[in-house]
């Protein structure tokens, strides 16, 4: 099992159910029962997903009498954004070079077309 924060975050985000839970939490706190509502799975299965999200630091859970609200903590997502930003710069550079090359090809074709 990964232990570094970035690996824990990616592991948590790898599952579509957990991503859907995070999306629901963007609107505010929800109880476990509310989060489980749209999923065709048992409460223990939902609780396992919540534990993975909590271990990754993506959610916090508290206890208020009988209500156990879950809340989004998007801090670890900043690490993901920072990590992927490096690769975005790489791809943007490649796309800029491709755009330049395509413009050069178009200019050559236009120039060749004028000669005929």
Which domain covers residue 63, as residue numbers?
Answer: 5-73
pLDDT of residue 114 exceeding 80: no
2 pLDDT band, cuts 50/70/90, is: low
Same domain, 54 and 68: yes
Residues 90 and 115 in one domain: yes
Q: Is the pTM of this model over 0.75?
A: no
62 shares a domain with 12: yes
Asked whether residue 11 falls in the same domain as residue 66, the answer is: yes
96 shares a domain with 40 = no
- Number of compact structural domains in the chain: 2
DSSP structure string for 30-46: EEHHHHHTTSSS-HHHH
Q: Do residues 17 and 28 share a domain?
A: yes
Residue 36: pLDDT above 50? yes
88 shares a domain with 113: yes
Write the pLDDT tens digit of every residue in 95-109: 778 878 888 888 888
CATH number at residue 50: 1.10.10.10
> Cα(4)–Cα(18) distance, rounded to whole angstroms?
19
Are residues 67 and 94 located together in one domain of the fold?
no
| Residues 80 and 69 grouped into a single domain | no
In whole angstroms, give the CA distance from residue 95 to residue 84. Answer: 16
Residues 38 and 65 placed together within one structural domain of the fold = yes
Beta sheet of 69-72, edge-to-edge order:
30-31, 69-72, 59-61
Domain end marker among 57, 73, 89: 73
């Amino acid at each position: 099992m990964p232990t570094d924060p970035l690996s824990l975050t990616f592991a948590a985000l790898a599952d579509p159910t957990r991503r859907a839970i995070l999306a629901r939490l963007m609107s505010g706190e929800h109880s476990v029962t509310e989060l489980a509502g749209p999923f065709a799975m048992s409460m223990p299965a939902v609780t396992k997903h919540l534990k993975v999200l909590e271990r990754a630091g993506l959610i916090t859970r508290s206890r208020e009498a009988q209500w156990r609200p879950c809340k989004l903590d998007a801090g670890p997502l900043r690490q993901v954004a920072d990590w992927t930003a490096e690769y975005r710069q790489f791809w943007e550079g490649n796309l800029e070079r491709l755009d330049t090359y395509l413009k050069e090809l178009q200019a050559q074709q236009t120039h060749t077309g004028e000669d005929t």
